[in-house]
Structure 1
Amino acid sequence: MRLTTPTLTDDPLPLSFGADSGATGPAIHPEAVARFDALLHELYPDAVRVDADRVRNLCVWLASMPSQAAQDVLDRRLHRIEELRHMLDDASWDPPEAMRSRLAKLIGYLDEDEDMIPDREPLLGKLDDVLLLELAWPAFAAEAEDYRDFCAYRSEHTPAGSGDEQRAAWIRDRLAEIALWQHNMRVNDSHYSYSGHAEAPFRIGS
């Protein structure tokens, strides 16, 4: 059970940056923002609301950074987008149909050139893509985490058989690891003998 909402990176995008009305940035069309926000909440209903001011302020924040630092902000998130693409295309992975549908809608938006911020915009063109992924991430985090672990297992153990058989081997071995861990925890927390005082202790000498 998760105690906190999963995040895409350790440093979420600062949606409150530059909240002053004097902030400037690229033209953000209300219709595009409304479409973006509707898709976001279709993917993850508990996401924060996105409006034109938030998007514009985020653009100002990114553009104010040194170019390499700004590109790093994007690249670390774009890398996770590629992981989701691989998960959707991997014949050995079988996400639930509802998850597959959400993934397809997410990637469909990411592949559009003319979205909320057109991809042709230098630096900023991918900002709305990574923003959508970051805000919708809790809807995909558990599946992505399982898929990453499955890929690590498949690479290390190279299980034979079909995708179903490989996933079955992964689940079986991971459950065995959990059972062993739980057993070791019980052993560490238990006492094999009582170390109290004997009723008639031995005496040496008279």
Structure 2
Amino acid sequence: MALTISFDLQEQDLDYFRQLMQKTERVVSHHSSEEILNAAKALAGEVQNQVPEFVAIRLKQLETLVAMVEDQDWDLTEEEKLDVLSALAYFTKPEDLIADHLPVLGFLDDAIMIELVVQSLADDFEAYSQFCTFRTNEIERRGPDAQTSKADWLETKKQELHSWLRRRRAEKRSSTGGGGFRSVFSFRR
């Protein structure tokens, strides 16, 4: 028997998570990009088989965010890397809202934070997922005797998706009337 529980986070609830992220960012600002990525990877890797499915799904998303930063073919700008790293900074702190050792619920706060990060970076996440799917399909389709190099066709697709992503960001900024960053977890001043 499965049990479905759903809940809505109101703006004041989101503010609480934003404040947690800002507090975390101040505490971990001395961490390097590598330390932030390693902490996110550690969280995802260490507990993958020990958590309920709703958490495991979010941990896979966390792994995708890490891959987005590390993927040489995707080649994020430094500013774009900072956006993702700022969102991942939460996972460098050892203490949680809910202690991780509690069965089932221990990773609920981590799952919520991952979900908020993924929603906040939804366009980035979607573009990168499309890029990975394209890359996998093209490698399979072209085979080892392809006439054009991997760099040629990946660069074309990457540029197409990066252009799409920048247009989406610009549309969102203009529709909200602000010129600010799209993420609820931005720490850039």
**TM-score, with length taken from structure 1:** 0.46
Which structure is higher in helix share? Answer: 2
**TM-score, with length taken from structure 2:** 0.50
* Structure with larger Rg: 1
